[in-house]
Structure 1
Amino acid sequence: MEKEDTKLTKLEIMDKDDYPEELKEQGAAALLLSCLPYTRFSYETSLALDKLKSDILGGGKRNRNSSSSRKRPRVSPSHNLGAAVSRKHFEDKQGEYNSNAVARNLPRKPPIRRLEETLKLIGNYEPHEVPSIPGLNGIIGKCSKPFEKQLTESDLRDDQSRLSINKADAQKYLYPLLNEDENLAEGISVTTYDPNGKEFAMVFKIWVSKIHVLIGGWKAFFHEHRLRKDQDFVTLWMFRRLDTKKLCFVITWRSLPGVTTPIKRERIRSRPRTRSKLGEIQVLVLAVQSHGAVQLVRVLVVGVNMRGGVLSVHDRQEVYAYRSSPLCQQK
């Protein structure tokens, strides 16, 4: 005991210069590792670490000709995300894979999301009204409301190099910011910013086929950020700079691993109020279902009884009508 006490005393009074360099490095590394769980990284550092992780796990080899070939395990149980028959089989296989992956120190497969869970994640997403991007504070003028789009295979093809924008979204969110002298057919030069504030020169235009697109720097954008079809959802804003009055876009995105098919969103279309002998009515198209050559349209009728009696303004009924019905014909 006396010898051990003597050794401890010598270690305590040992001068720092006499402490072995190897032990110093090991001690510093141990302290760094113990602090990592409580360290908050900046957004730029998180992106850099995520990119480094992808490079290491993917072996640093990516097919440059395929924009959506990011090396990340994925599960595709069925074209129907709600297929209950095969879901259990794939969950069992996934559990078996993950147990082996832990033993071999491999990345785990992303969990299979139910269709209801996926739709809830998409429907409950509410981005900020004004994008928070480094370097843009104080220069964002009039800004559109954000809207989201699921990336498709054609959006990530090198031979097309364009991001398509839904016509309804373009007319609702982007058209109000356009000036009279800006011609979409000829194309409008815009600056597009990524979440880090990096600029990409693009052109916002409408093709002869009436498709609204962003072209130019879009190819470099999705290659640099390794965006993937189906499971990556981009959010777009358009704004005018206060200093130059030029149009700009901001594109951010979020990933939903496990989504392997396009998800169709129902758009609620409304018709203007009309008058009839029964009084003022309003017809809202809630949903459209296709059954072969027949389309069944679910509509909401406000202010009129289907039997012919007048209702109060607060009464409403949901009815089903065929596309050939006068209630559902487009003017």
Structure 2
Amino acid sequence: MATSKEETTSVVITREDREAAEILIELSQDTRYQPIEEEDAARSSTLLLQQISKKKNKKKKQVTKSPQKSCSFKAEEKQHSRKDDKLSKKGTKRKREVDDTDETLRILQEWNRTKPVPVEELFKGDADVAELFSEPIKKQLTMSDVEIGQGRLMLGKQQVQKKMLPLLEHSELPQATEGLDVSVYGPNGKVQTMKFKMWSDDTPVLTSGWNDFVDKYKLKKHRDFLTIWMFRHRVTRGICFAIDRTRFPVTGPLSLRILKSVFPNPN
């Protein structure tokens, strides 16, 4: 039987039609068929349309969540990347601050082999003032040694115990814990009073006047290397220190390689 042009128009099925059809199939599988009246059919149709709308909205939310998660993940990844870069830069900076050059090693090895200047020269003509010298202690000034807030020169524990404490009389040993008044002679022969003290962990320090010593001689961290003696005053019989200073073009804290070569027993 022939059909007119109006009867042969094509039908276009959209994606929404397909989704609605899939939802209808799902609903029909969960619902038993029962005859319904017209009012019930209307209510059922309305309910069906609401369910279709909910399912469609749910699918849209699922689709839109993934890009947000992806963006959030990328933002966190960038943040972690920035932190890693900062840590890397800090690590590089620390490495650059350490002086590990062969030139520094050569200079300090030569300085370490050279005998210190005679201690008498530090007294500027008052050589009869001293007797019973200890062996000298050598050290590089650290940042904490010249900070005003610290106000102390830290000395190596083992070196002090081995080289200096034997000069103290038995009655002077307890005073070292509380602070023993000592006279300290600088490179120009001038003397000032400080305290030789043991911290709670038996770390020996010179304090109470050390900041003035740093300011007077313009001591610099890392660049200045000290040679330190303990001795007993011939007249007063008091304990004294003599400190000489040598400055080198050192750019930072010494590397472990140089420390082991120049200061084999720094503590």
Asked whether 1:175 is paired with 2:165, we answer yes
Identity %: 32
- Contact 2:98–2:254 (CA<8 Å) still a contact in 1? no
Instruction: Work out the number of aligned pairs and report it.
Output: 165
Q: Relative to structure 1, is the Cα distance of residues 211 and 233 closer, same or farther in structure 2, using a 3 angstrom cutoff? A: same
Aligned to 2:232: 240
Deviation for aligned residue 1:209: 2.4
- Contact 2:100–2:255 (CA<8 Å) still a contact in 1? no
Asked whether 1:223 is paired with 2:212, we answer no
- Contact 1:81–1:114 (CA<8 Å) still a contact in 2? no
- Contact 1:177–1:239 (CA<8 Å) still a contact in 2? yes
Q: Which of 175, 195, 203 is matched with 1:211 structurally?
A: 203
Asked whether 1:260 is paired with 2:260, we answer no
- Return the alpha-carbon distance in structure 1 between the equivalents of residues 156 and 252 of structure 2: 20
Corresponding residue SS for 2:119: coil
Q: CA RMSD in A?
A: 2.3
Deviations 1:125-167 (A, max 9, x none): 3214634221431121111111211000000111110000001
- Return the alpha-carbon distance in structure 2 between the equivalents of residues 80 and 268 of structure 1: 18
- AA aligned to 2:221 is K
Deviation for aligned residue 1:121: 3.2
- Structure 1 gaps, min length 5: 1-75, 84-112, 270-331
Q: Which of 152, 156, 171 is matched with 2:142 structurally?
A: 152
Corresponding residue SS for 2:214: helix
Deviations 1:37-66 (A, max 9, x none): xxxxxxxxxxxxxxxxxxxxxxxxxxxxxx
Deviations 1:15-48 (A, max 9, x none): xxxxxxxxxxxxxxxxxxxxxxxxxxxxxxxxxx
Q: Relative to structure 1, is the Cα distance of residues 125 and 260 closer, same or farther in structure 2, using a 3 angstrom cutoff? A: farther
- AA aligned to 1:168 is Q
Please report the TM-score for the alignment, with normalisation by the length of structure 2.
0.56
Q: Which of 93, 97, 114 is matched with 1:125 structurally?
A: 114
- AA aligned to 1:170 is V
Q: Which has the higher contact order (CA 8 A, sep 6+)?
A: 2
- AA aligned to 2:234 is L
Deviation for aligned residue 1:263: 4.8
Corresponding residue SS for 2:115: coil
- Return the alpha-carbon distance in structure 2 between the equivalents of residues 80 and 219 of structure 1: 25
- AA aligned to 2:223 is Q
- Structure 2 gaps, min length 5: 1-93
The structure whose Rg is larger is 2
Runs of 4+ in 1 over 4 A off after TM superposition: none
Q: Relative to structure 1, is the Cα distance of residues 210 and 79 closer, same or farther in structure 2, using a 3 angstrom cutoff? A: same
Deviation for aligned residue 1:82: 4.1
- Return the alpha-carbon distance in structure 2 between the equivalents of residues 247 and 82 of structure 1: 37
Please report the TM-score for the alignment, with normalisation by the length of structure 1.
0.46
- Return the alpha-carbon distance in structure 1 between the equivalents of residues 120 and 222 of structure 2: 23
Give the helix-richer structure, 1 or 2. Answer: 2
